[in-house]
């Protein structure tokens, strides 16, 4: 098997991750629900993981990191907890449905929404953000990198625009957390939403939201937290304000081990290898007759993008191509709409979809070359 669907989930995890999850299941108690050893051990591990994430994203106070099940939950917390009827919010055609659907939901409740266009290469124009700002504009919600094209946004530039206009900046870091540097302070990010199971190399069912200290988010869920049990309202202090119910401590233990692995391996080293593999594949397929590659690979953007290459072969249905790659070559990719309907509209692939190849540092040069050869054969 050649696994090239890492933008969906990283399939190969560090060995330490599985061991940490198994050990947690065997020995860990419930954090905040007891003063005995197993419960306290869980609390210590969870706090250590918060601290590592706060350092990774330059959040500052670890208590400003709240755990969730995934980016989708984090984005729902941010979007439904920050914006109100009458507010105006800006987003882009680059977005995943994890951003779009909560925004559409809020639109039905009276929030106003502007969606910035993307060009045929899948890029937005930053000047469009400033032009879209109104008197009632409350925030900008956008992705760091497209899960379809791999195109990246300059968060520092967008954050500067948000600060200049006094609006909130909410970022979907699903495709970049763990492989690209993110500095919330430097980039002016108010709420950073991430998942643990992609480039952070943790288990599925883990994720989180980092919230700037001056920002208060209305909780999506309320319930037990282990503190202030006699209060009729959710605690206001972070992280309990956004963490109702028992946390996925077993999964967080795996995420903790994954973060330790990333520190040892070096995010820069991982990023360099993944981009090298992506470039090898792109260079191998871009000139094949009948193959069309989507996204912006021009100049320096070849090395400032998520390690993703989306393509189509002639007018073949993308699902059929992906099935053929799996059945005949043992190459696993993702085809179809990728939960990014507006991006497909911008690219002109709404009907055909696209076949997405997404690399991990665990992939080899030989696997990438086999994938190139498979695409070449299927294009004949």
Query: With 90 as the cut, is the pLDDT of residue 326 above it?
Result: yes
What is d(CA 255, CA 18) in angstroms, rounded to the nearest whole number? 10
| Ramachandran bin of 191, using left for φ above 0, alpha for ψ from -120 to 50, beta for the remaining angles | beta
- Domain covering 266-378 assigned CATH 3.90.1150.10 in the classification: yes
Return the pLDDT at 370.
98
What is the average pLDDT value for the chain, to the nearest integer?
A: 97
pLDDT of residue 357: 98
Q: What three-state secondary structure class fits 29?
A: coil
Torsion of CA 344, 349, 350, 351, to 10 degrees: -160
Domain ranges of the chain: 15-264, 266-378
pLDDT at 186: 97
Q: How far apart are CA 279 and CA 297, in angstroms?
A: 9
Reading the block at residue 28, the tokens are 């860990």
Contact yes or no for 192/184 (Cβ under 8 A): yes
Please report which confidence band the pLDDT of residue 35 belongs to, taking 50, 70 and 90 as the band edges. confident
Whether the Cβ atoms of residue 250 and residue 25 lie closer than 8 Å to each other? yes
**What is the pLDDT at residue 200?**
98
How confident is the model at residue 369, as a pLDDT?
98
Average pLDDT over residues 168-174: 98
Is the pLDDT at 179 greater than 90? The verdict is yes
The predicted pLDDT at position 51 comes to 98
Within 13 A of 10's CA, how many CA atoms are on the CB side?
Answer: 28
Which pLDDT value is given to residue 228?
A: 86
Domain 15-264 and domain 266-378, same fold? Reply is no
Query: In the sheet where 291-294 sits, what is the strand order?
Result: 291-294, 308-313, 354-358, 334-336
Please determine, for residue 227, whether its predicted confidence score (pLDDT) is greater than 90: no
What is the percentage of the chain residues whose pLDDT exceeds 90?
94
Reported confidence tier of residue 81, pLDDT bands at 50, 70, 90: very high
Distances in whole angstroms, Cα of residue 341 to Cα of each of 315, 336, 337, 348:
19, 10, 6, 11
| 283: enclosing H helix or E strand | helix 267-285
Location of structure tokens 């970049």: 176
Q: Name the CATH topology of 15-264.
A: 3.40.640
CA distance 292 to 287: 9
What is residue 87's DSSP assignment? -
**Does the pLDDT at position 337 exceed 90?**
yes
pLDDT tens per residue, range 2-21: 999 999 999 999 999 999 99
In the three-class reduction of DSSP (H, G, I as helix; E, B as strand; rest coil), residue 287 is classed as: coil
**Chain centroid offset of residue 53 CA:** 14
The dihedral sign for the CA sequence 109, 137, 193, 172:
positive
Question: E-strand spans in the chain?
Answer: 2-3, 65-68, 88-92, 112-116, 137-143, 168-172, 191-195, 207-211, 291-294, 308-313, 331-332, 334-336, 354-358
For 134-152, b/e burial (b = at least 16 CB within 10 A) is: eeebbbbbbbbbbbbbbbb
Query: Measured between alpha carbons, how far is 95 from 206 in angstroms, rounded to an integer?
Result: 21
pLDDT in tens, 89-148: 999 999 999 999 999 999 999 999 999 999 999 999 999 999 999 999 999 999 999 999
Q: What share of the chain is helix, strand, coil (3-state, %, to 5)?
A: 40, 15, 40
Average pLDDT of span 285-298: 97
Cα distances (angstroms) measured from residue 196 to each of 30, 32, 210: 20, 22, 13
Cis check: omega of the bond before 239, within 30 degrees of 0: yes
DSSP code of residue 66: E
| Alpha-carbon gap, residue 83 to 138, rounded angstroms | 7
The yes-or-no verdict on residue 226 having pLDDT over 90 is: no
User: Is the pLDDT at 190 greater than 90, yes or no?
Assistant: yes
Distance CA 64, CA 224 (A): 19
């Amino acid at each position: 098997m050649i696994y090239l669907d890492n933008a969906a989930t990283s399939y190969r995890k560090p060995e330490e991750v599985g061991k940490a999850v198994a050990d947690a299941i065997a020995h860990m108690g419930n954090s905040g629900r007891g003063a005995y050893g197993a419960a306290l051990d869980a609390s210590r591990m969870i706090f250590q993981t918060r601290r590592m994430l706060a350092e990774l994203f330059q959040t500052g106070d670890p208590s400003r990191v709240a755990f969730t099940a995934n980016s989708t939950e984090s984005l729902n917390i941010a979007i439904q907890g920050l914006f109100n009827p009458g507010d105006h919010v800006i987003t882009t055609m680059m977005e995943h449905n994890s951003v779009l659907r909560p925004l559409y939901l809020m639109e039905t409740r009276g929030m106003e929404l502007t969606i910035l266009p993307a060009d045929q290469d899948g890029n937005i124009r930053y000047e469009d953000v400033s032009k879209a700002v109104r008197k009632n504009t409350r925030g900008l919600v956008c992705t760091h990198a497209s899960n379809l094209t791999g195109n990246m946004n300059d968060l520092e530039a967008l954050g500067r625009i948000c600060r200049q206009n006094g609006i909130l900046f909410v970022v979907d870091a699903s495709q970049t957390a763990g492989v690209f540097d993110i500095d919330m302070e430097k980039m002016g990010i108010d709420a950073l939403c991430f998942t643990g199971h992609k480039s952070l190399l943790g288990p599925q069912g883990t994720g989180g939201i980092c919230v700037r200290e001056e920002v208060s988010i209305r909780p999506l869920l309320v319930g037990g937290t282990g503190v202030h049990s006699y209060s009729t309202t959710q605690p206001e202090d972070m992280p309990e304000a956004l963490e109702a119910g028992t946390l996925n401590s077993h999964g967080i233990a795996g995420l903790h081990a994954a973060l330790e692995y990333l520190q040892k391996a070096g995010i820069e080293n991982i990023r360099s290898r993944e981009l090298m593999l992506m470039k090898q594949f792109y260079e191998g397929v871009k000139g094949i007759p009948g193959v069309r590659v989507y996204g912006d690979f021009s100049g320096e953007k070849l090395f400032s993008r998520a390690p993703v290459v989306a393509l189509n072969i002639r007018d073949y249905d993308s699902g059929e191509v992906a099935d053929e790659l799996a059945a005949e070559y043992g190459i696993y990719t993702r085809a179809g709409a990728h939960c990014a309907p507006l991006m497909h509209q911008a690219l002109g692939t709404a009907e055909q979809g696209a076949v997405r190849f997404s690399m991990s540092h665990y992939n080899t040069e030989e696997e990438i070359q086999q994938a190139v050869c498979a695409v070449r054969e299927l294009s004949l």
